[in-house]
Amino acid sequence: MTAPFVIIGGDAAGMSAASKAKRDDPSRDVIVFEKGSWVSYAACGMPYYVKGTVDDLDDLVAMTPETAREERDIDLRTGHEVVSVDRDKQTVTVSRDDETFEQTYGELLLGTGARAIVPPFDGIDREGVFTLRDMDEAGEISDFVETTAPETAAIVGGGYIGIEMAEALTEHGIDVTIFEMLPRTLQPFGAETARTVEDHLREQGVDLRLETTVEGFTGVETVDAGDTVDAVEIEGDDEPVPADLVIVGVGVTPNVELAEHAGLELGPTGAIATDEFGRTSDDSIYAAGDCAEATNVVTGEPDHVPLALTANRAGRAIGATVAGKPTRTGGTAGTAIVKAFDLGAARTGILDPERAREAGFDPESVTIEVPTRPHYYPGATDLSITLVADRESERVLGASIVGRDGVKRIDTVATALHASLTVTELQNLDLAYAPPFSPVWDPVLTAAKVLGGILEK
């Protein structure tokens, strides 16, 4: 009898793999070890739970443990932590409450995810200081807001989570300050889109402090909650900034310790190296999701893009491969989209000129403002599009879009990246036009026309 397909981590990658493997090969035993209690939940929905848009944390669960076990026949074990992998014996050691046991595997999938980076700030352990990495913490933040009714909040880090949490907390009437060490927010989106988002955050009342380094959090003894945060200390600044609540969202780091201890190869990004089928340096071990690398479709190089779709897709592909049909995990274009109050911002590919040059390109870029509809049709809003291409080959390298509406059209450029289209080919796409939906030349086409004109010179 074949040893089971064992999966470490019951989130997007792990549960997608388990479901697909069982569907394609129902006779195969599939065991998932999840150290927490939540499985298969929409982490991207957590800010909207804190905001109040989503009523119940359970609403974020895509598949309950019961469904996994009963309907999909997955041997799902929550509260089980895998503490080591023995590749020679093809076993994992699992810890549960006070006991430890071994489980053999035929194939193993590491879906260990990533964790929030927690810099060594003074006072990081005070009450009221949170990251937002899992459902329990989302619940705690929401409870904290409800029970303590904070008047001020500090968000450390101007990335997705920081901006989504700024919106969520502002919704509760809390005065929000975002602290960002770098000269701008939303690094991967490029300067132009970031500037537009920053102006909008300020219009919405967010106190945005760029190039500001947080040193720590001061606190005050409270009767109910012990040593609770009350302010943020800034480098080179005498006056701490009041904050009844702090969210630290400075990025994530892949959970690679198990892989490392097992002697699996890590890639240049620090995440687990994988081939096009999601296989690690050990043929019977796969890795997927936030702990693993994926191939960037523009550069052809390994990349680490800890986002939901990449995890779901790679997990599903690995499930199919394990069930007998070798399936590529697909590359990543680094496509991302974020809501910032009334704006949407989206990005795909390579926007950073430095990174483009490292990958051997000679980037040229243009940023244009275009309306989403013809001038005569009501409801048009402006989109700002940044488009980047290689001067020599004219290949499209990346794009960023920001505006009140219609930023999902980043998908057109993402598709173009997968197909290695040139600016001329992008410009010649037959995209949909009617006055309620778009100008004759879709904003993406107009950006391509303008960039094409620059490349001709």
What residues are annotated to the active site?
44
Give 221's contacts (C-beta < 8 A, 6+ positions apart). Answer: 227, 228
Own/partner contacts of 64-67, CB < 8 Å, gap of 24 or more, are 64/39, 65/39
| Structure tokens belonging to residue 343 | 């704006």
CB 362 within 8 A of CB 390: yes
381 binds its own copies (CB under 8 A): no
- Which of these ranges, 3-11, 120-128, 254-262, 372-380, lies near its own copies under the rule CB under 8 A? 372-380
| Min separation Cβ 423 and its own copies, Å | 13
- Candidate segments 199-207, 215-223, 333-341, 361-369, binder of its own copies by CB under 8 A: 333-341
* Contact call for residue 433 and its own copies (CB under 8 A): yes
CA 271 to mean position of chain CA atoms? 14
Q: Strand, coil or helix: what is 340?
A: strand
* Closest CB to its own copies among residues 31, 165: 165
In angstroms, rounded to a whole number, what is the distance separating the alpha carbons of residues 352 and 388? 9
Neighbour tally for 397: CB within 10 Å = 28
For the chain, give the number of residues: 457
How many residues sit in the footprint of its own copies (CB under 8 A)? 68
Q: Which of 3, 36, 44, 240 binds its own copies (CB under 8 A)?
A: 44
Contacting residue, 26, 37, 59, 263, with its own copies by CB under 8 A? 59
In the region spanning residues 341 to 360, those forming contacts with its own copies, defined by CB under 8 A, are 344, 346, 348
Q: Which of 7, 416, 447, 450 binds its own copies (CB under 8 A)?
A: 416
Q: What is the DSSP secondary-structure string of 106-125?
A: SEEEE---EEE-----BTTT
Give DSSP secondary structure letters for 360-409: T--EEEEEEEEESS-TTSTT--EEEEEEEEETTT-BEEEEEEEESS-GGG
Per-residue interface string for the shown chain with its own copies, residues 142-161, x marking contact by CB under 8 A:
------------------x-
- Secondary structure class of 152 (helix, strand, coil): strand
Question: CB-wise, 92 or 333, nearer to its own copies?
Answer: 333
Contact flags string 92-131 toward its own copies, x per CB under 8 A: ----------------------------------------
In the complex, what is the shortest distance from the CB of residue 184 to its own copies, in angstroms, rounded to a whole number?
Answer: 20
Residue 161: Cβ-neighbour burial (10 angstroms; 0-12, 13-18, 19+): buried
Q: How far is the CB of 419 from its own copies (least distance, A)?
A: 3
Stretch that binds its own copies, among 80-88, 146-154, 175-183, 370-378 (CB under 8 A): 370-378
C-alpha–C-alpha distance, residues 121 and 400, integer Å: 33
The Cα–Cα gap between 447 and 433 comes to 16
Choose one: 168-176, 203-211, 221-229, 337-345; the region binding its own copies (CB under 8 A): 337-345
How many Å apart are CA 308 and CA 105, to the nearest integer? 26
Kindly tell me which residue out of 50, 145, 197, 307 binds its own copies, with binding defined by CB under 8 A.
Answer: 307
- Token reading at 40: 């298969």
The residue within the footprint of its own copies, chosen from 126, 313, 355, 395 (CB under 8 A), is 313
- Residue pair 68/39 in contact (Cβ under 8 Å)? The answer is yes
Quick one: which of 330, 363, 398, 403 contacts its own copies (CB under 8 A)? 330
Note the residues at the interface with its own copies (CB under 8 A).
12, 42, 44-45, 48, 53-54, 59-60, 160, 297, 307-310, 312-313, 325, 328, 330-339, 344, 346, 348, 374-378, 406-412, 414-416, 418-419, 421, 425, 427-438, 440-442, 444, 456
